[in-house]
Structure 1
């Protein structure tokens, strides 16, 4: 390490070392162009949807077609609004602290129906759409809003007004949730019960670690006890098991509470283990096609395939398998993940995940990206790079993608992809003409920044952190739905070497906390910067 640093600072390389360094900076620059396109598209998405907000309340509608008159929790709030918030947090801090927070405060004030729990709001009625309270809708909407929207925001932001909103909903849900969960409303047929239970298992498990509140773990264990037993195990008791969204949440949720008790209640984990493995083994035996991807729906009891379409959310179920592999070391679960990843580039380029909808691409790409973070199968990278372009091409000039709540998932996955290309780095004072990207080689991070504007630019590069540990306080970074990956997490307690390649003689020691708080960069018009970060 010291010899490398000395050679680097003096500019004395072997030709092979010089070539490798040049290639890594070229990769970082190319990644920067991809990340920049992603950030610009997310900014246009956010701007396009803000233009569609209700003129009186400022809330966004469920969609721009038949449900334009309503805001609802399980679509507008869960899938679209949160990723407008996340886009503004990364790119437009004034908007984040202003309009986005105003929308949250308005939603809390105008849509709360049972305590903090939200219900569907009509813009024309200037009140709730339904005269009578449908507790099934309130429960379902609250669970979706937390799991799909407020949870990823909390993972990225840490404690914030959005995490406070989630905890308020979670606490008030205890007045409404009884076992078994039974929803009278018709959402997705018989899947509504297990979807809501899966949502709650995920939220309760993560919030237990984040807050240290034993009550959340107790409630999660109650739900786990209901399903991880002989009578109600999903693969024994259900004749229809959806392995795509609106059903696969129960498998992911049970994996999360299984991870929680692995660390917090080993006796309970030992009790559940045979049922957990039986469920996952059954899903593997009956739920996959020859490429290792999951069917939309199966009968787990008979093994019959009910819907042989391939689930765009295949990665969400794979998350559960990989979690069990991490905890129990059962290699067949890892092998299943590797098989699925290995089939993507040769068999699933331009695959029609959801009849041409960008939402199918968003979920499929997210699943692959999350698992590739843990198992970097080489062929997955070209698949990701090609398929993001397919999804991006669906965006309209207005910034709107398809005009429904699934547009938020376009932004969610695009932000994940762009953060992969920057290794988790974001920049303050962002504008479209500042292009930054990164490449990781072993323990070293290569960063390229270019100011393509005609004006000077000053901002700070904020480096990535251990989100699972710092914000959620999870004991292990197991794969989970809508998580943000940690491509080069900086440890605030460690010291790093920073080499400014633009001025090769400048080599400094810098604390991890400084990198996290923000490393200031000033660039003249057309000027670039190359940095190397190493422990």
Structure 2
């Protein structure tokens, strides 16, 4: 599997990873630093210029803080950070439900006039950040905010195209790319086919209209009225990569449901990945940042800059290969992962932080919690570090959480997809709840289905108990002095014993 290839790439063996507490401690310090920078008159988290910036703070730092609090501080999660969301909606909304940059010291928007395109780009970036929270936490206030932004984007959609059954919210991939990734997630979380309808609008427009005329690639900006490119490049920054991920996730739905669209999308998806692998992938396993069709069958490549999201692209390539049954893409992704090496500590963090928003669970970097990069501390770099440390922790724990969290609490989990083993160690007695990963939101190595039943074995009692999955959703109460091991596995039938 690609995950085991990537494990070898990063030199990681699960047995060596006993550093969960120090990683979470480090992340928790970052969380507390930014909580202390809360604006004095509101609950907004501000940067050094007293600004709530949509593209950086709202879209990147704030979601990472929410996820971190979800892991270590539920009081903060349900308290201050929930209030931040209320103040964000109350103070920074400028166009429909879309936010704009806000200066807390002046109690006004940072720009005197509103730029609608910029607001839509920022709103889509914020939606992408909220989707990161939703993929891990499921339903809640942040998912509702995400849904409101996406609904409003399509309500105001005005970009008509002959290729799609309905208008698009924008002709700019910095908007449609990020939104494309959120739509299969929302369809899954809310069991709402309407979001798949929106996703198909975008996919039809690009797979049938744009990509065949643009060298197999989605264009940064496309004029659907003239049916020509305004900016033909594919830039493999967050929005471009999010488009690839979203398109493959929609394709997964079409394959699962056996729809005719799977056959329509497959040729263009294959053409796109062929271009990326043949023209965009360097010998060192990294992707170039920009590819531009030259209208003669070739591509102009920006060879000076690399994409910071190489791992996400390779994981998406691998997933498409599995879905389409084409081992060429699977093997290409595995081979590139074997060649990939982060160049320095900052690239370790940048590369790994991107994995938190990847469509599959990916492995961490062995030295992550030991890395002390020589770079400035700000809302961008701290958000990246938080995301990296959270992804590291989620891999080591298979998504299991323990509350209340303490610095001395050591939590590691292993799973083969059917069974889950949870090991907890502390220096002092601990009592609290274990929360197991639930169905929905993202691909997980192990998840609790509310309609199934599970057998739980405890190292303390040596006894077994059967639990309904719906009951486990509320948490599993645990109490131990220094060590506890639980084994959890799905069972088909049998009497449910008292837990």
User: TM-score higher than 0.5 here?
Assistant: yes
The Cα of 1:107 is off from its aligned counterpart by 0.4
Q: Could you give the per-residue CA deviations for residues 25-50 of structure 1, whole angstroms, max 9, x where no partner exists? A: xx98864x322222222211110111
The 1:363/1:429 distance shift into structure 2, 3 A limit, reads closer
Q: Could you give the per-residue CA deviations for residues 357-406 of structure 1, whole angstroms, max 9, x where no partner exists? A: 67524345558x86575xxxxxxx6xx34242354x2499xxxx721234
Distance 1:78 1:258 in 2: 26
The 1:440/1:93 distance shift into structure 2, 3 A limit, reads same
The 1:276/1:87 distance shift into structure 2, 3 A limit, reads same
Q: What corresponds to 1:462 in structure 2?
A: 435
Q: What corresponds to 1:12 in structure 2?
A: none
The 1:126/1:412 distance shift into structure 2, 3 A limit, reads same
Instruction: Select the residue among 65, 80, 87 that pairs with 2:68.
Output: 87
Instruction: Select the residue among 144, 149, 172 that pairs with 1:164.
Output: 144
Report if the CA contact (8 A) 1:146-1:166 is conserved: yes
The Cα of 1:440 is off from its aligned counterpart by 3.2
Q: Could you give the per-residue CA deviations for residues 231-284 of structure 1, whole angstroms, max 9, x where no partner exists? A: 544545565322233533333333333334445682333333322221221111
Report which structure shows greater RCO (CA 8 Å, sep ≥6). Answer: 1
Report if the CA contact (8 A) 1:120-1:128 is conserved: yes
Distance 1:428 1:220 in 2: 37
Distance 2:460 2:351 in 1: 39
Report if the CA contact (8 A) 1:244-1:314 is conserved: no
Q: What corresponds to 1:8 in structure 2?
A: none
Q: What corresponds to 1:114 in structure 2?
A: 95
Q: CA RMSD in A?
A: 3.0
After the TM superposition, which of the residue ranges 253-262 and 124-133 deviates more from structure 2? 253-262
After the TM superposition, which of the residue ranges 299-308 and 287-296 deviates more from structure 2? 299-308
The 1:106/1:265 distance shift into structure 2, 3 A limit, reads farther
TM-score (norm 2): 0.81
- Provide the secondary structure at the position in 1 that maps to 2:477: strand
Report if the CA contact (8 A) 1:291-1:339 is conserved: no
Report if the CA contact (8 A) 2:353-2:389 is conserved: no
The 1:261/1:52 distance shift into structure 2, 3 A limit, reads same
Distance 2:34 2:454 in 1: 41
The 1:284/1:28 distance shift into structure 2, 3 A limit, reads closer
Q: What corresponds to 1:204 in structure 2?
A: 183
Q: What corresponds to 1:151 in structure 2?
A: 131
TM-score (norm 1): 0.76
Distance 1:210 1:436 in 2: 28
Paired residues for 1:78-477 under 5 Å: 78-147=59-128, 149-179=129-159, 193-229=172-208, 231-233=210-212, 234-236=214-216, 239-263=232-256, 266-301=259-294, 302-344=298-340, 348=341, 350-352=342-344, 356=346, 360-363=350-353, 366=356, 373=362, 384-389=364-369, 391=371, 393-394=372-373, 402-440=377-415, 443-453=418-428, 456-468=429-441
Distance 2:351 2:410 in 1: 25
Report if the CA contact (8 A) 1:201-1:256 is conserved: no
Distance 2:403 2:367 in 1: 28
Gaps spanning 5+ residues in structure 1: where? 1-26, 182-190, 374-380, 469-482
1:53 equivalent to 2:43? Answer no
Report if the CA contact (8 A) 1:29-1:436 is conserved: no
Q: Could you give the per-residue CA deviations for residues 51-86 of structure 1, whole angstroms, max 9, x where no partner exists? A: 12222222122x43xxx2321222211101011111
The Cα of 1:407 is off from its aligned counterpart by 1.9
Distance 1:490 1:251 in 2: 29
Distance 1:103 1:244 in 2: 28
Number of positions where the alignment pairs a residue of Structure 1 with one of Structure 2: 453
The 1:295/1:531 distance shift into structure 2, 3 A limit, reads same
Distance 1:122 1:177 in 2: 29
After the TM superposition, which of the residue ranges 419-428 and 220-229 deviates more from structure 2? 220-229
The 1:28/1:532 distance shift into structure 2, 3 A limit, reads farther
- Provide the secondary structure at the position in 1 that maps to 2:90: helix
Distance 1:486 1:99 in 2: 29
Q: Could you give the per-residue CA deviations for residues 331-350 of structure 1, whole angstroms, max 9, x where no partner exists? A: 11111221122223xxx1x5
